Chains A and B, each alone.
Chain A
Amino acid sequence: MNNIFKFSFYIFLTLSFAWLAFVVGAKNQYGDLDPTSQYLEENGSMPKDAELYPMSMPGIAQLGSKEYLSLGCVTCHTQQVRSEIAGFDVERGWGKRPSVPRDYILQEEVLLGHNRVGPDLTNVGLRDYSNEWLHKHLFMPNSIVEGSICQPSPFLYETIDEPASDSIETSINGEVTHIKPSIRANRVVAYLQALKQDYELPEIAFSEKTEEESSEVVESVVSASDENVTSFPTWLTAQMESGKEIYMKAAPGGGLCYTCHQPNGKGIPGQFPPLAGSDWVLGDKERLIKISIHGLMGEIVVNGVKYNNVMAPPGIPPGSLTDEQIADVLTYIRNEWGNSTSAVSPSEVASVRSTVQDRAPMQMWTAAELEKKYSSD
């Protein structure tokens, strides 16, 4: 300890051992990973003409990654889906599978991050956000996700008075604004849309519970209700089939109902009320239609049990269901899972819609509001 050269040498050794292990060791282990096909042949070779993954990002997205880094987004957003043993990321729907080292080999800037004040962005490109939505979010996150503390980037946009061909209409505090994305904003959005790990690799398959399982559930429900559907009159069968499709569909034009109310219509105890046997579903149509147009929030008593949650206006994007679609899906939930009551027609929906024309598109109903209206009628 008393000879500074020896001392320096020893403490240098302790440091370099760790460095050697983590850097040289890890580099030897996986420093030369290459893109590969999703599945390998039995003999370990890649199938002929197979697509190789990961694919490199489009050029504009690569430029976007630089903007993402320079704006400091990585301070709050991670880009890693942890393995199922180590975290809840797959369960939360942040990825179809955990991330693996091979996913990152073509990225120039690897921005794993280690803080999640914002959501994980590994698969943000898979979440069906339109470019327009992302631009609105970048411009003023608060205006499109209420309560978000994501930092606005108005300096990436030009605010213009008259709508132009490449401008986007957004509303800030109820005021309509037209914004024109700069080239940098377009890069960031292209980058976000390019962030996706939607392929399997020989070393990692999609986690169960995500697509495969839920599609299985959908299928089993489909086959179970097939038998019921046959007993309906033909005009109702068509409406039921279309309603079921909307109920189950998790893509634009769908209702995404099953994620909360579940494919079996039983909801989740304590969180999402059931539809099967529900006094609300089997009761007044007007209330149901209103909820289907504007959504519902706050406390609600269903079959004597209290729930407190938020139901955004159904549809993707929210509130986009047409009169026909609302009629179909309401008819479906009123006649499925043992429910059996009158169907809802598109003209009924249209007449209710005309009475609530003045209500703002995202202003959700409360149960109290609906009940008051109902009893006074």
Chain B
Amino acid sequence: MKISPEQQVDQSAKFAFSFFIASAGLWLLAAALLAYIAAAKLTDPLFLATWEAFTYGKIKVSQANAFVYGWGGNSIFAVSLWIIARLSQSPVRGSVFLIFAGAVWNLAITFGLLGILDGHMLGHELLEMPKQVWPALFISYLVISFLIFVVFRSRKEKITIAPQWFIIAALIWFPCLFLFGWSGLELNPGRGTLQSILSMWFGQNVIWLWLTPVALGCAYYIIPSVLNRPIDKYYLAIFGFWCIAALAPWSVVHHLEGGPVPMWVPAIGTVMSIAMVFPIAVASTNFHSTAFQDISRVWNYLPLRFVIFGTLSYTISSYIGVIFSLPAVAKLTQFSIINEFHFNQRVYGFFSMIIFGVVYHILPQITGREIGTTAKNFHFWTSALGVFALLLAYLIGGLTHGVLAQQPSLEWVKVIESVKPYFLITEYAFLILGFSQLVFVLNLWKVLVPNPFSSCDSNLQQKTA
């Protein structure tokens, strides 16, 4: 039987992809469980209160880390490996090293989270895992990204396109960010609030320059390839890319508005986050004016429905983010639970939804097995409902929180009491999300691990034949 070049690439990527996406799925479940515990602890402080390992702060922090490094990291490796290999038309080499490094990465995160729960947390945003695990994380990351670069370097087509820029850039940005952050926070820590600036800069940039570009790259890949039409106004994409590269690292510090840092730091942050409307508008135009030319295909092909949900969420909530960075608004909402809205819209509403879509697109091609439509649809609708409820609760709750906090005569506990109903909604939303993620993992399981007792597995027969 003759194998097409695509199938050859898929075959070479199969092991590593399956490994990464399976670990990503498990981390997603772990994060969902932690998120639910954290939400439940806010509505009932006595929940698990006697266990020191389960204080709200530790759970919340380990949830963010499990989500970003466990689910985010592994799924980034999986999808970038496959997309880069497909676009380069060049097979993946060194799967053993990929899987070995991936195992180290996962072990390091596991120890890191246990370290946090055991009380060895560091005080820097998204660098909270204990120092000892970072060298392992960093080296395994270098191995994995190096092997992805090897694929990229051996590409057949020398001219690169948008998905490659975004994914390759993200892969390069993360280790640079880490080195910058690590040197200024641990190796040669600055005094006083210098640390706070760098911690804010690192933590926000992990989201903006690592998760975000990968998700954008996926969307740039999957929309034209599924719809079989070029990206509308593609010439703008390069402008959008360099705008993100140039503006995002500056814009993130606007969260320090009014704090004990030099005034120019948040001022630059605010100006740059307003300028972020350009790359947001570019990405939005590219994605949506292409997708809306064939909206029925988008709706009927579920992976694309996931991706367009993600890009729409990116557009809407990034504009909302710009509004909340204006000093007059930030005055109210800067320290409110609007921050949870920003984080969750970016990691759930945007990044995760796009990754779900891309994974559903890739899996049948790699394994030759299709996932049941009902199961996928169920996953989509529960995710959409959960994300919607979660974000709405955090948005409205955050506004309530901010506006009430501004009234000096109102006792603080009264302020929080009026936010409590929203905490309850988020608890239910996390429950729904956890449920939908369980469906996702079961879907993965069904395709990745074929039922050994089913004798009529046509693919297996084909392969052995």
Are both chains from one complex? yes
Spell out A's residues near B (CB within 8 Å): 1-2, 4, 7-8, 10-12, 14-19, 21-23, 26-27, 29-33, 69-76, 78, 80, 82-83, 85-88, 91-93, 98-105, 107, 109-119, 141-142, 145-155, 260, 268, 271, 310
Q: CB distance A31 to B190 under 8 Å?
A: yes
Q: CB distance A14 to B245 under 8 Å?
A: yes
Q: A23-B190, A71-B55 are in contact. Are A112 and B335 (CB under 8 A)?
A: no
Q: CB distance B339 to A114 under 8 Å?
A: yes
Q: A71-B55, A74-B57, A88-B405 are in contact. Are A2 and B160 (CB under 8 A)?
A: yes
Q: CB distance A31 to B257 under 8 Å?
A: no
Q: CB distance B184 to A104 under 8 Å?
A: no
Chain B nearest CB from A195 CB (Å) reads: 14
Q: CB distance B416 to A147 under 8 Å?
A: yes
Chain A nearest CB from B399 CB (Å) reads: 14
| Complex Cα spacing A107 to B191, Å | 8
Give residues 213-243 of B contacting A (CB, 8 Å): 238, 242
Find chain B residues with CB under 8 A from A112 CB. 193, 196, 259-260
| Complex Cα spacing A76 to B159, Å | 49
| Chain A CB within 8 A of B439 CB | no
Q: A88-B405, A101-B262 are in contact. Are A71 and B195 (CB under 8 A)?
A: no
Q: CB distance A19 to B180 under 8 Å?
A: yes
Find chain B residues with CB under 8 A from A99 CB. 259-260
| Chain A CB within 8 A of B271 CB | no
| Complex Cα spacing A109 to B195, Å | 9
Chain B nearest CB from A129 CB (Å) reads: 14
Chain B 48-60, CB-CB to A under 8 Å as 1, else 0, gives: 0111100111111
Q: A86-B257, A116-B335 are in contact. Are A110 and B123 (CB under 8 A)?
A: yes
| Chain A CB within 8 A of B319 CB | no
Stretch at the interface among B132-140, B300-308, B362-370, B406-414: B406-414
Chain B 178-197, CB-CB to A under 8 Å as 1, else 0, gives: 00100010000011111111
Find chain B residues with CB under 8 A from A310 CB. 411
| Complex Cα spacing A313 to B173, Å | 58
Q: CB distance A86 to B408 under 8 Å?
A: no
Q: CB distance B61 to A72 under 8 Å?
A: yes
Find chain A residues with CB under 8 A from B57 CB. 71-76, 151
19 other A-B residue contacts (CB within 8 Å) besides A2-B159, A73-B57, A75-B60: A8-B168, A8-B172, A12-B176, A14-B249, A15-B209, A18-B249, A22-B265, A23-B190, A29-B262, A70-B121, A76-B57, A85-B327, A86-B334, A104-B196, A110-B196, A115-B340, A116-B335, A148-B413, A151-B45
| Complex Cα spacing A91 to B406, Å | 9
Find chain B residues with CB under 8 A from A155 CB. 50-52
Chain A nearest CB from B441 CB (Å) reads: 27
From B59, B60, B196, B406, name the one whose CB has the most chain A CB atoms within 10 angstroms.
B196
Find chain A residues with CB under 8 A from B176 CB. 12, 15-16
From B56, B165, B177, name the one whose CB has the most chain A CB atoms within 10 angstroms.
B56
| Complex Cα spacing A29 to B153, Å | 42
- The chain B residue sitting closest to A259, CB to CB, is B409
Find chain A residues with CB under 8 A from B198 CB. 22-23
Q: A78-B335, A154-B50 are in contact. Are A114 and B200 (CB under 8 A)?
A: yes
| Chain A CB within 8 A of B330 CB | yes
Find chain A residues with CB under 8 A from B406 CB. 88
| Chain A CB within 8 A of B246 CB | yes
Find chain A residues with CB under 8 A from B149 CB. 4
From A82, A83, A111, A271, name the one whose CB has the most chain B CB atoms within 10 angstroms.
A82
| Complex Cα spacing A92 to B198, Å | 28
Find chain A residues with CB under 8 A from B268 CB. 21
| Chain A CB within 8 A of B94 CB | no
- The chain A residue sitting closest to B195, CB to CB, is A110
| Complex Cα spacing A107 to B253, Å | 22
Q: CB distance A151 to B335 under 8 Å?
A: no
| Complex Cα spacing A149 to B331, Å | 24
Chain B nearest CB from A58 CB (Å) reads: 19
Give residues 247-289 of B contacting A (CB, 8 Å): 249-250, 253, 255, 257-262, 265, 268
Q: A15-B249, A23-B180, A110-B192 are in contact. Are A74 and B261 (CB under 8 A)?
A: no
